[in-house]
Structure 1
């Protein structure tokens, strides 16, 4: 079966519903990620992992840096396969429920003071469940929106899943900032932090309402009618489309590392190395994320006209070069330049991230798309996003220079360009 226009063009209202359904799921994912990261820094250490308990201390490090990422490939393997066998919609309802329920339950957990180390064990378990659900979410979210559109508009519609990171980050930071402003420190530590996790139920309910009412994608309906579903999509991806999988994985590494530099490492660098107030670095990240709400779908739209690889490659080249300009520009401790630099960095990220959903999905034949997309997303996340913050910090500490982190990012952007170059369906992504 060839990659073709949607068999039956759905009404525009279905396209909008699919776009919203994809956006809501990935927004929930990144809302959970941001809320968990902040809570880990502010409250989890005291409430679940007291220093006098060595077991809890180990679990804290494991849950914060490993579990959420290491469990994602499991979700990609399990739900990616089911998405190609059972359908996109059914699996996406399950992944949304799994991620959402795990997040809400974190807000209800008993602390170490109430149940001892059991509280930490339960927290790690729920973090693991979050990762499994997230691992199966992205590939399906991309397909849910893109397979309702036509080939000529796939870049724009597939960008719905890509708006999730800035939307989720903005929402989580907004909720946490409001809680911090309205509550005393004692109130926030006692119960206020729980509200951030319990509020994710609103996103879950909204996402379910949209997804349950949505029809299965036209592409999968045609696969089902013609009996072309794969009975072993995992095996087929590795044996029949390994080049597509490699290209998709490599293409994702650079954007993940670039995002980590300009949303995570920059916060530490600005405060500890430049002596700037963290509020300025946070302002840059928040302003850049706000701009990305428009820049990401715009980049997806642009890829429909200029070509997927051209727009993606432009972002990769810009992302590779920009750190070598960014760090000298902020070296004098200019807070406004820090904000501008972060915003520009996230602009280059948007040029890669906007076309990414369409580019990755187009590498795989329709009958293997969910599995291929999920594997590419989760495996690239482990070698890219999961390691990037630690590597940036370690390289800077070892060499005592920003040049080492900049070279690391440069190398990962080159890896992304290599992925674009070897893509087997390059003619469709020019």
Structure 2
């Protein structure tokens, strides 16, 4: 297999920035949809339904993207393990940008009737496939370029794209609303941020095309370890580690989407908070999330992931118990506190979940295996969370059911994390002995001479 990039000198810093830029743009598109689903799409695409049913229908189209993500993860994971990380990440960025741009051009229900929500769902599937290929691939690309002792830090750069994309989406959403006015924004102005995706993705492609292929994938090619069916090969890690890794990360996704998406709908429609106040508060919390990821990833590189991850899981559980009671007071000050608390606590576990998942698999099947865990967690957690929360709110008439739902899923993840770190101390790479000494050399796995990441 030809390898034209092999002679290029890897640039870890440039690669980390490129993965951050790419994931920011992809999450911009994804969160733009989530914000529009919470505030706009019920009126544009489901006007014949009641407000509650329209919101539930809009969140159902949000969930469709999560259902499509495993398909993207499987397809892009397969080719990422066979032909390389770089090419697949370029295609995933294109898919997301094209899908988002076309969403901004769909006629609404009043114009074409039934076909409006059909087209919305179809393009949401395209978005989901694109993001399904992005999530694991960007983490691998950055992590596999990492200098020694900075594996978690570099794996955290693509994770920063999540809050950065949220901030960008909300600022563009608010800015456009301010520019055209509320009535015009609801009627047609919401389309502008989606069409803007075309420009942003073009910029992202220029950045992404300049990075070199992953050194780990080069080693896989050199040792002729490319396998025909990498997903099937990745399952040899074993059910206990696969299932516990999935359980450990599922709560973070659920909590994040309730915080980022459901809160906008619930706060504005049920608690009468000002829409712009909520979006600005969530945006401010996302800035905290973004800024603290490098802090926590450095802690993980120096002191280990185990204590930090389990402590973060406990903190998320406790804050979920307090989150909606604080919002329900109707106090803007306590609402800001509730949202800011999420922005400070979510990154403790979010920042290292990418490296934990990646370290579950050897290099020659890492893209496929990581995509499987990441997208399964996204469906079980984030994809269904806003819809489940809306259904619980409608059936119970209060946020208590949503609180219990979040607490329960956090408890499941906490148990999964404790069991995972007992099975594999500090999330050492698959096949490694149960030593926790970060300096202890491990046997070669999938063509890489490993040193146990903390």
Q: Same fold (TM over 0.5)?
A: yes
For residue 422 of structure 1, what is the aligned residue in structure 2? 420
Task: Give the alignment partner of residue 73 of structure 1, picking from 56, 64, 70.
Answer: 70
Q: Write the deviation string for residues 128-186 of structure 1: whole angstroms up to 9, x where unpaired.
A: 11111111110001011111003511111111121122111111111121111111456
- Separation of aligned partners in 2, 1:276 and 1:59: 20
Query: Given that residues 17 and 210 in structure 1 are in contact (C-alpha distance below 8 angstroms), is that contact kept between their aligned partners in structure 2?
Result: no
- Is 1:156 the counterpart of 2:153? The answer is yes
1:317–1:339 distance in 2 versus 1, CA, 3 Å:
same
Q: Write the deviation string for residues 279-323 of structure 1: whole angstroms up to 9, x where unpaired.
A: 443333121111111112221221111212221111100011123
Q: Larger deviation: 223-232 or 273-282?
A: 273-282
Q: Secondary structure at the match of 2:361?
A: coil
1:151–1:364 distance in 2 versus 1, CA, 3 Å:
farther
| TM-score (structure 1 length as normaliser) | 0.87
- Separation of aligned partners in 2, 1:128 and 1:257: 20
For residue 444 of structure 2, what is the aligned residue in structure 1? none
- Separation of aligned partners in 2, 1:407 and 1:8: 55
Q: CA deviation at 1:332?
A: 3.9
Q: Write the deviation string for residues 332-379 of structure 1: whole angstroms up to 9, x where unpaired.
A: 432212211211122111101111111111111111110111111111
1:117–1:409 distance in 2 versus 1, CA, 3 Å:
closer
Let me know the Cα RMSD of the aligned residues: 2.9
- Separation of aligned partners in 2, 1:238 and 1:176: 41
- Separation of aligned partners in 1, 2:425 and 2:135: 22
Q: If each structure's helix is expressed as a fraction of its own residues, which one has the higher value? A: 1
| TM-score (structure 2 length as normaliser) | 0.83
Task: Give the alignment partner of residue 123 of structure 1, picking from 115, 120, 123.
Answer: 120
Q: Write the deviation string for residues 228-266 of structure 1: whole angstroms up to 9, x where unpaired.
A: 122211111224443332233112211112213322343
Task: Give the alignment partner of residue 208 of structure 1, picking from 168, 189, 205.
Answer: 205
For residue 296 of structure 2, what is the aligned residue in structure 1? 299
- 5+ long unaligned stretches in structure 1: 1-6
Q: Larger deviation: 380-389 or 264-273?
A: 264-273
For residue 94 of structure 1, what is the aligned residue in structure 2? 91
Q: CA deviation at 1:60?
A: 5.8
The correspondence of residues 254-403 of structure 1 with structure 2, limited to 5 A, is: 254-271=251-268, 274-329=271-326, 332-399=329-396, 402-403=399-400
Query: Given that residues 163 and 287 in structure 2 are in contact (C-alpha distance below 8 angstroms), is that contact kept between their aligned partners in structure 1?
Result: yes
Q: Write the deviation string for residues 182-220 of structure 1: whole angstroms up to 9, x where unpaired.
A: 114564356433321121122211221122121101111
Query: Given that residues 59 and 387 in structure 2 are in contact (C-alpha distance below 8 angstroms), is that contact kept between their aligned partners in structure 1?
Result: no
- 5+ long unaligned stretches in structure 2: 1-5, 429-452
Task: Give the alignment partner of residue 250 of structure 1, picking from 233, 247, 261.
Answer: 247
- Separation of aligned partners in 2, 1:273 and 1:59: 14
- Separation of aligned partners in 2, 1:72 and 1:311: 28
Q: CA deviation at 1:331?
A: 5.2
Task: Give the alignment partner of residue 26 of structure 1, picking from 5, 23, 28.
Answer: 23
Query: Given that residues 10 and 148 in structure 1 are in contact (C-alpha distance below 8 angstroms), is that contact kept between their aligned partners in structure 2?
Result: no
Q: CA deviation at 1:411?
A: 2.4
For residue 407 of structure 2, what is the aligned residue in structure 1? 410
The correspondence of residues 85-234 of structure 1 with structure 2, limited to 5 A, is: 85-112=82-109, 115-185=112-182, 187-188=184-185, 191-234=188-231
1:238–1:266 distance in 2 versus 1, CA, 3 Å:
same
Query: Given that residues 24 and 203 in structure 1 are in contact (C-alpha distance below 8 angstroms), is that contact kept between their aligned partners in structure 2?
Result: no
- Separation of aligned partners in 1, 2:401 and 2:183: 41
1:399–1:118 distance in 2 versus 1, CA, 3 Å:
closer
- Separation of aligned partners in 1, 2:59 and 2:334: 36
Query: Given that residues 56 and 390 in structure 2 are in contact (C-alpha distance below 8 angstroms), is that contact kept between their aligned partners in structure 1?
Result: no
Query: Given that residues 245 and 372 in structure 1 are in contact (C-alpha distance below 8 angstroms), is that contact kept between their aligned partners in structure 2?
Result: no
- Separation of aligned partners in 1, 2:41 and 2:362: 44
Q: Secondary structure at the match of 2:126?
A: helix
How many residues in Structure 1 have an aligned counterpart in Structure 2? 418
Query: Given that residues 38 and 261 in structure 2 are in contact (C-alpha distance below 8 angstroms), is that contact kept between their aligned partners in structure 1?
Result: no
- Separation of aligned partners in 1, 2:330 and 2:369: 44
